[in-house]
Amino acid sequence: MSQHYAAHLATLVQRSEAALARAGFDHLVIASGVEKYHFLDDRPYPFRANPHFRHWLPLAQQPHCWIVHTPGRRPLLVHHQPDDYWHVPPAPPEGFWVEHFDLRVIREPREAAAHLPRGRVAIVGEADAAVADVVPNNPQPLLDLLHHERGFKTAYELDRMRRAQRRAWKGHRAAEAAFRNGGSEREIHRAYLDASGHGDLDLPYGSIVCLNAHAAVLHYQHQSPERPAKHLSFLIDAGAEVDGYAADITRTYAAREGAFADLVAAVEDEQLALCAQVSAGRDFRDLHLECHLRLAGVLRNAGIVDMDPGAMVAEGVTRVFFPHGLGHLIGLQVHDVGGRHDREGREIPRPQGHPYLRLTRTLAPGMVVTIEPGLYFIPSLLAELRAGPHAGAVDWDAVEALLPYGGIRIEDEVACTEDEPENLTREAEAWARAESA
């Protein structure tokens, strides 16, 4: 691990040097950030360190810390260790990464100013992190390059992401069991947390735990404590984190055989075919459009929409059933930065009519993307379709019968390599199934 980390750090140093040179600065300074408080209250919101900070070292929970990189020098960590008897103060840093940093300990946030360089300094952080005259300036040309390069994962990062996948799969296995046992969304969610070893606050995103028609809400944010009268379907989109790196996995289960189970299997077939195309040189926008075409085929084969698949895509009919993007970059953030811009920060446009696609770049080795096609039965979008020119092509009885099931999403993370794609999620799933066999 230490070796992987040393190589990771060498890559960050190189990228930092290139970004500083491009933007005309001599030092890179990164603030971990500050806690934010509820209005008129003394309770802070959960803290999460600046992702630029977490890229250099795995301290996700510590405000008022700083990293300094000056080309040619060892990176410096200014570490905030307050004398605080209300809370457990941060322990002195330890782990595989510590030996690579010079360390200065501060007791008060303002003491950081004495350790930070002045002059031509790029300061990356939120405005509130300012101490004395050290005020974040977030130079755009520097950020553009760093965000773009963050799309290419180091071996260290891939290792963290594989581990995050395994951690998430422990939760997914327990969640499926809780569903099969007739649990409520809240009970399923708790089973997920217990098995993955997460609390609500350290998940990479709020878990999406949907029984029945709730699966039609793309980012359903509740976890109902009520057990429904009948369990028809279960969609769970839940992740995990290792050293700040996220997993983002979705599975959909049918309670029993039938039309919905067949539809889940058909979506999964297409999902796997799309995962197999995560290869260098592939424009992700084309893959997204291919996904629409494949889902059109599923809708036609299932007898839901009787139209030529190409026409279904061209006329926007598939967007009613699949109203989000095929996937996104993932890493330090579940929706990682840098998905829609080139190295110079120029926007790479989305295909017209696809406003939610988060990734428009061409795939290259080192990129990790999610592949997450879905088919949903969303009443408001279906009402528009029913009022439009293609209503006659839809078997509305079939749609009515599927509404109580909500929808389907199947989501894996796939790494682009020089060679065959590496499906991080399926590998971890196989591991989890073998563990529990």
Binding site for ligand GLY (CB under 6 A): 205, 237, 248, 328, 334, 372, 411
Which residues inside 376-415 make contact with Mn ion, applying CB under 5 A?
Answer: 411
Strands (E), 9-59: 27-31
Residues β-bridged to residue 238: 249
Nearer to Mn ion, 185 or 237 (CB): 237
In sequence order, which residues have a C-beta less than 8 Å from that of residue 359 and are 6 or more positions away? 284, 325, 326, 327, 328, 329, 339, 340, 369
- Per the CB < 8 A criterion, the answer to whether 293 and 310 are in contact is yes
Instruction: Give me the least distance between CB of 16 and ligand GLY, in Å please.
Output: 29
Closest CA to 61 of 84, 79, 37: 79
If the CB atoms of residues 313 and 357 are measured against ligand GLY, the closer one turns out to be 357
Shortest Cβ 218–Mn ion spacing (Å): 10
Q: Smallest distance from the beta carbon of 339 to Mn ion, in angstroms?
A: 11
The smaller minimum CB distance to ligand GLY, of residues 212 and 333, is found at: 333
Contact residue for Mn ion among 159, 187, 248, 412 (CB under 5 A): 248
Task: Note whether 127 and 33 are within 8 A (CB).
Answer: no
CB of 329 to ligand GLY, least distance (A): 11
For Mn ion, the binding residues in 146-205 under the rule CB under 5 A are: none
Residue 233 interacts, among ligand GLY, Mn ion, none and using kind-specific CB cut-offs from 5 to 8 Å, with: none
Alpha-carbon distance of 382 to 394, in angstroms, equals 10
* Least Cβ distance, residue 374 to ligand GLY (angstroms): 10
Beta carbon nearer to ligand GLY, 174 or 326: 326
Token pair, residue 436, equals: 């529990």
Q: Which stretch binds Mn ion (CB under 5 A): 128-136, 245-253, 268-276, 347-355?
A: 245-253
Distance CA 115, CA 90 (A): 19
Helix axes 155-180, 424-436, angle to 10 degrees: 50
Residue nearest to ligand GLY (CB): 237
Nearer to ligand GLY, 208 or 266 (CB): 208
- Determine, following the binding rule CB under 5 A, whether residue 237 of this chain makes contact with Mn ion: yes
> Interface with Mn ion includes 336 (CB under 5 A)?
no
- SS (HEC) of 70-87: CCCCCCEEEEECCCCCCC
Which option in Mn ion, ligand GLY, none does residue 205 bind, with CB closer than 5 to 8 A by kind?
ligand GLY
Of 271 and 370, which has the nearer Cβ to Mn ion? 370
Taking the complex as a whole, the smallest distance from the CB of residue 334 to ligand GLY amounts, in Å, to 6
Contact assessment for residue 321 and residue 295, using Cβ atoms and an 8 Å cutoff? yes
Tell me whether residue 15 or residue 214 sits nearer to Mn ion (CB atom): 214
Scan for tokens 């799969």, then name that residue: 169
**Which residues, at least 6 apart from 79, have a Cβ–Cβ distance to it below 8 Å?**
62, 65, 90, 92, 93, 103, 104, 105, 106
290: which 2 tokens?
A: 């291919």
Min dist. Cβ of residue 211 to ligand GLY (A): 17
**Distance of closest approach, residue 221 Cβ to ligand GLY, in angstroms:** 11
Residue at token pair 């509820």: 38
Cβ-contact 389, 320 below 8 angstroms: no
Paired tokens of 192: 């997920």
| Residue number, 12 or 236, with CB nearest to Mn ion | 236
Q: Does 370 bind Mn ion (CB under 5 A)?
A: yes
Binding at 170: pick from Mn ion, ligand GLY, none (beta carbon under 5-8 Å per type): none
Q: Which residues bind Mn ion (CB under 5 A)?
A: 237, 248, 250, 370, 411
